[in-house]
């Protein structure tokens, strides 16, 4: 999905419009028009809970002379963010190996360091060279002179609903702000009250300059005794997608939409079978 507009018309009465309003390396903001909160939340939940990413599933600590307990080392390694070609992998529960573990559903890694040194994510030697830490300088542990760490483990694809380490980012939304300013009253107090600088001042009037910055905090409504009125739209939503790095924003959205289609297909088939 590039910057611009996409209109989906699937059936009579349903028309959703998607516009990319902001996109940079860390964050993408979409304007979704013609839906409702349940639909927006479904897309959000699918992105966070169902789209696959790779993460460390288990580790074996062969030697740990560091100041951290084995559990802390495991926790830190488990949260290393990994980028990979997910198309080569299946979920273990769907794999032909019946979850025993094979090259289609898991890969291994090892980590060996001798102090004095800092041990970073980039020191993990991963069997599948396509899998790499997104942030290579993620610090796992500091080793003093004479201390050593030897660990090996397994990396698998998984879903955020099973463990948060598989969530590919943070996604949130709010109703598109509808801001009404009284034409006859002094509304200048809204300018100073607004924490996100939505308004500019024109005489004694607050003029809406940057509506998309509104966070629906209602400070302007309070400051002007209701002479500015704000509400979130129930049909148009701003959706904010912040990717951790395992997947691009576009991959998160496309993954969520394709999972939604699969689930609807399954639902349709189940309904037919129940007749």
CA distance linking residue 168 with residue 27, whole number of Å: 12
Q: Is 207 in the site for ligand SF4 (CB under 6 A)?
A: no
Sign of the four-CA dihedral 234, 239, 240, 244: positive
- Segment near ligand SF4 (CB under 6 A), from 6-14, 102-110, 113-121, 209-217? 209-217
**Of 173, 167, 170, 171, which Cα lies nearest the Cα of 51?**
167
- Segment near ligand SF4 (CB under 6 A), from 43-51, 132-140, 157-165, 215-223? 215-223
Q: Is 214 in the site for ligand SF4 (CB under 6 A)?
A: yes
131 versus 191: smaller Cβ distance to ligand SF4: 191
Give the C-alpha distances (Å, rounded to integers) separating 22 from 26, 31, 51, 234. 11, 9, 22, 21
**Of 73, 165, 55, 60, which Cα lies nearest the Cα of 119?**
73
The SS3 call for residue 123 is helix
On the CB side of 66, CA atoms within 13 Å amount to 26
Q: Could you tell me the smallest distance in angstroms from the CB atom of residue 269 to ligand SF4?
A: 45
The SS3 call for residue 219 is helix
Q: Is 178 in the site for ligand SF4 (CB under 6 A)?
A: no
107 versus 187: smaller Cβ distance to ligand SF4: 187
Q: Using CB under 6 A, which residues numbered 91 to 110 contact ligand SF4? A: none
Q: Is 181 in the site for ligand SF4 (CB under 6 A)?
A: no
Q: Could you tell me the smallest distance in angstroms from the CB atom of residue 240 to ligand SF4?
A: 15
Give the C-alpha distances (Å, rounded to integers) separating 31 from 22, 124, 174, 264. 9, 40, 10, 24
CB-neighbour burial class of residue 52 (10 A; exposed 0-12, middle 13-18, buried 19+): buried
Contact with ligand SF4 (CB under 6 A) among 58, 98, 196, 202: 196
Contact with ligand SF4 (CB under 6 A) among 193, 239, 241, 256: 193
48 versus 230: smaller Cβ distance to ligand SF4: 230
CA distance linking residue 118 with residue 140, whole number of Å: 8
20 versus 216: smaller Cβ distance to ligand SF4: 216
- Segment near ligand SF4 (CB under 6 A), from 62-70, 86-94, 153-161, 214-222? 214-222
Q: Using CB under 6 A, which residues numbered 217 to 256 contact ligand SF4? A: 217-220, 230
């Amino acid at each position: 999905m590039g910057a611009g507009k996409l209109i989906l018309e699937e059936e009579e009465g349903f028309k959703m419009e998607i516009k990319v309003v902001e996109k940079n390396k860390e964050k993408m903001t979409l304007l979704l028009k013609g839906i409702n909160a349940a639909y927006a939340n479904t897309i959000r939940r699918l992105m966070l809970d169902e789209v696959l990413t790779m993460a460390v599933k288990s580790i074996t600590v062969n030697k740990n002379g560091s100041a951290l307990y084995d559990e802390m080392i495991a926790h830190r390694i488990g949260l290393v963010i990994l980028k990979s070609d997910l198309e080569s992998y299946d979920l273990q529960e769907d794999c032909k190996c019946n979850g025993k573990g094979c090259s289609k559903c898991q890969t291994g890694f090892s980590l060996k360091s001798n102090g004095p040194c800092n041990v970073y994510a980039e020191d993990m030697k991963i069997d599948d060279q396509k899998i790499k830490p997104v942030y290579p300088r993620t610090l796992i542990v500091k080793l003093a002179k004479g201390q050593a760490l030897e660990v090996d483990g397994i990396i698998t694809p998984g879903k955020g609903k099973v463990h948060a380490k598989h969530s590919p980012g943070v996604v949130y939304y709010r109703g598109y702000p509808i801001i009404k300013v009284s034409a006859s009253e002094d509304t200048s107090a809204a300018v100073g009250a607004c924490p996100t600088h939505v308004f500019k001042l024109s005489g004694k009037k607050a003029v809406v300059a940057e509506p998309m910055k509104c966070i629906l905090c209602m400070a302007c409504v309070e400051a002007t005794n209701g002479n500015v009125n704000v509400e979130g739209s129930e049909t148009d939503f701003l959706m904010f997608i912040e990717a951790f790095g395992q997947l691009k924003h576009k991959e998160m959205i496309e993954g969520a939409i394709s999972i939604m289609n699969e689930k609807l297909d399954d639902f349709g088939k189940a309904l037919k079978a129940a007749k």
